[in-house]
């Protein structure tokens, strides 16, 4: 179930294209985007518990 992650990234967080050029730069940017996605999920989960 990968599609919701792309939808959240593209529409809700407005990251519809890479800002840097090159494959390694785009890969590191994508890893940063997915890391912040996971951190936001953890943060929302902690708020729901509290």
Has residue 17 been placed in a domain? no
Q: What stretches in the chain show pLDDT beneath 70?
A: 1
What gap in Å lies between CA 20 and CA 46, rounded to an integer?
A: 33
Has residue 43 been placed in a domain? yes
Give the number of other Cβ atoms within 10 Å of residue 43's Cβ. 10
Q: Whole domain around residue 41: which residue ranges?
A: 24-50
- Give residue 6's pLDDT: 87
- Give residue 5's pLDDT: 81
- Give residue 1's pLDDT: 64
User: For the whole model, what pTM was predicted?
Assistant: 0.80
Has residue 40 been placed in a domain? yes
What gap in Å lies between CA 13 and CA 6, rounded to an integer?
A: 10
Has residue 49 been placed in a domain? yes
Has residue 33 been placed in a domain? yes
Total number of domains constituting the chain? 1
Has residue 46 been placed in a domain? yes
């Amino acid at each position: 179930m990968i599609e919701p992650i792309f939808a959240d990234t593209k529409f809700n967080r407005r990251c519809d294209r890479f800002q840097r050029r090159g494959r390694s730069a785009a890969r590191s940017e994508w890893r940063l985007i997915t890391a912040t996605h996971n951190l936001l999920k953890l943060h929302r989960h902690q708020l729901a518990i509290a």
